[in-house]
């Protein structure tokens, strides 16, 4: 019972003055009990620990092979001297021997997985005329005539507690009275944010569009025909044999999935460039009904997009900002409660919207627990892993297991900027300091929840404040419908100074 109570939180709700009944004319209050994030760090599922070590061993075989090959060659060649070669071998034999050694080295390098580099990335900042304050949001929503008084009050309260400030961006078309959202509206928004991000990226990297071999675009709700990836290809006149993919319906975690797909494709096309574009169309997440579960998306989602340029060319290591170190994806779709926690549906009046279950925080907690348990063996220092396993094997039954300190594995953490309450819960359970949470909170306040691109606005914040030093490890965590939790870890290849283009830097007029 005590364990279950730890996951519950209470909220006193003011129901207003009762109109009838024995308590007419009096204020009425009720207590709402809801599930919070589970104390997942105090329970360990060894299945996910074993999975993490399986990933580690499968990628370590190349590192164990290299010293062995070097040792054999050193042992053999160490016994030979120039006198052994000179009388017996002519120049042709020497050339042949060098060729054989070169071929062996080439085959070894070709068989080992190539590193994936993040050359650079860019986040789009919409024009100032699309800025919207919380007060203006409610005023426009009321004037649209699409919401009842209860729905307006609900959105007002949600905005107040959201952690979003007064400078996030919204397309004004959603507040247009008397007319629904059209496919044209969605395409125009997508084109604005996607092309804006890609333009900034191309300007920063000076890359030629004909050199881009792979394109991956992700957007959860808007999936037109031709696809968003086709829009990018048409606008930038990309090569005719480009490998393009369009990911839809995968929620806020799709940005990490797009990186994973691009990484695999770069392994298939070594030495190539991959362009990844992550966005969400606010116009298509907008709900015009009065169902509270479907109104939450209105309050949190804002305009935004990010574009990333990846490379598998070894020479690009010297010009790239980051190297991809680990990527772990966790899917809880086999569980019905997780599967239904966030889904697109229609209300009783047939109005479409994104429904968010009251169980979503608890579901996210279980997905995160599985994800970080798998990630732990890949990133934690050996001392922490030894301490953890020693405590796990020899602890007393009444003693809680030792919880590894994930702060030892990362210098920076970028948690998906969903809402203030979710960030508070994650900070408490992951035992993160305010410094680790700063990028997520500032992004939520300034730009709101931009879905899959949110974690890139957070990394841009760290760069704009000159926080990234050579060797720093950055942990990006994203959640999404399904339910999914995905992690990606980057290592800074150099100290990153304040960039010329950034959504956090106001251009001089």
Residue 494 DSSP one-character state: S
Q: Mark out the alpha helices in 37-133 (DSSP H runs).
A: 46-78, 82-85, 91-111
Reported in sequence order, the residue ranges of 377-506 that DSSP labels E, i.e. its strands, are: 412-415, 473-480, 484-492
| Contact by Cβ (8 Å): 263, 256 | no
Q: How far apart are CA 11 and CA 9, in angstroms?
A: 7
Active site residue 161: no
Paired sense of beta strands 473-480 and 117-123, if any: unpaired
Instruction: Exactly one of 331, 371, 414, 485 is catalytic; name it.
Output: 331
Active site residue 241: no
Q: Which of 246, 371, 449, 486 is catalytic?
A: 449
For the chain, how many residues are written?
509
Catalytic residue flag (residue 449):
yes
Any idea of the CA torsion for 40, 42, 47, 52, to the nearest 10 degrees?
Answer: 80
CA dihedral 436, 442, 445, 447 (to 10 degrees): -120
What span, in angstroms and rounded, lies between the C-alpha atoms of 492 and 118?
9
412 as an active site residue: the answer is yes
Tell me which residue of 229, 237, 318, 343 sits closest to 279, measured CA to CA. Answer: 229
Helix ranges (DSSP H) in 269-399: 282-285, 292-300, 336-339, 360-379, 382-394
Query: Could you give the CA distance from residue 141 to residue 135 in angstroms, rounded to a whole number?
Result: 10
Catalytic pick among 123, 219, 252, 485: 252
Catalytic, out of 246, 290, 412, 414 = 412
Show contacts of 124-128: CB within 8 Å, 24+ apart.
124/192, 124/193, 124/194, 124/196, 124/197, 124/200, 124/304, 124/305, 124/306, 124/307, 124/503, 125/169, 125/196, 125/503, 126/169, 126/192, 126/193, 126/196, 126/303, 126/304
Closest CA to 352 of 126, 162, 142, 180: 180
Cβ–Cβ under 8 Å, residues 237 and 209: yes
Prior bond of 226 cis (ω within 30°)? yes
Q: Which helix (H) or strand (E) holds 140?
A: helix 134-144
Peptide bond into 483 cis (omega under 30): yes
CA Rg, the chain, in Å?
26
The upper half-sphere exposure of residue 466, i.e. CA atoms within 13 Å in the direction of its Cβ, equals 3
Q: Return the active site residues.
A: 252, 331, 412, 449
């Amino acid at each position: 019972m005590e364990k279950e109570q730890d996951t519950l939180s209470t909220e006193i709700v003011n129901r207003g003055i009762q109109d009838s009944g024995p308590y007419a004319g009096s204020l009425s209050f009720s207590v709402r009990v809801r599930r919070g994030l589970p104390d997942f760090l105090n329970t360990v599922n060894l299945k996910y620990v074993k999975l993490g070590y399986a990933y580690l061993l499968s990628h370590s075989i190349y590192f164990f092979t290299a010293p062995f090959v070097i040792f054999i060659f050193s042992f053999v060649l160490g016994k030979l001297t120039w006198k052994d070669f000179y009388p017996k071998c002519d120049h042709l034999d020497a050339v042949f021997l060098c060729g054989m050694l070169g071929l062996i080295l080439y085959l070894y390098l070709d068989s080992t997985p190539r590193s994936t580099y993040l050359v650079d990335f860019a986040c789009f900042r919409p024009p100032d005329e699309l800025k919207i304050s919380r007060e203006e949001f409610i005023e426009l929503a009321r004037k649209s005539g699409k919401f009842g008084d209860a729905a307006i009050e609900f959105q007002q309260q949600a905005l107040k507690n959201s952690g979003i400030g007064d400078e996030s961006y919204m397309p004004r078309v959603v507040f247009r009275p008397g007319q629904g959202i059209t496919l044209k509206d969605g395409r125009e928004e997508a084109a604005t944010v996607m092309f804006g991000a890609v333009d900034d990226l191309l300007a920063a990297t000076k890359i030629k569009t004909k050199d881009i071999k792979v394109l991956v675009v992700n957007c959860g709700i808007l999936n037109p025909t031709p696809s968003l990836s086709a829009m990018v290809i048409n606008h930038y006149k990309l090569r005719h044999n480009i490998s393009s993919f369009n990911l839809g319906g995968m929620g806020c975690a799709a940005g990490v999935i797009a990186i994973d797909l691009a990484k695999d494709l770069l392994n298939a096309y070594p030495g190539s460039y991959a362009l990844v574009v992550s966005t969400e169309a606010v116009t298509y997440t907008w709900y015009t009904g009065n169902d509270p579960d479907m109104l939450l998306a209105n309050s949190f989602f804002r305009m935004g997009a990010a574009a990333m340029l990846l490379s598998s060319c070894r020479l690009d290591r010297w010009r790239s900002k980051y190297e991809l170190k680990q990527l772990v994806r966790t899917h809880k779709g086999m569980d019905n409660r997780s599967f239904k926690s966030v889904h697109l549906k229609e209300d009783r009046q047939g109005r479409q919207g994104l429904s968010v279950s009251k169980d979503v925080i608890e579901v996210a907690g279980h997905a995160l627990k599985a994800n970080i348990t798998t990630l732990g063996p890949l990133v934690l220092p050996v001392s922490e892993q030894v301490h953890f396993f020693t405590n796990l094997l020899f602890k007393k039954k009444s003693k809680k297991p030792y919880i590894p300190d994930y702060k030892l594995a990362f210098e920076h953490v970028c948690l998906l900027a969903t809402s203030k309450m979710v960030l508070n819960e994650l900070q408490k359970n992951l035992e993160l300091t305010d410094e680790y949470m700063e990028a997520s909170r500032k992004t939520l306040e300034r730009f709101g929840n931009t879905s899959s691109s949110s974690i890139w606005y957070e990394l841009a914040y760290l760069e704009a404040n000159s926080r990234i030093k050579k060797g720093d490890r950055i942990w990006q965590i994203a959640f999404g419908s399904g339910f999914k939790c995905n992690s990606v870890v980057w290592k800074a290849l150099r100290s990153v100074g304040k960039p010329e283009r950034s959504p956090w830097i106001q251009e001089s007029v």
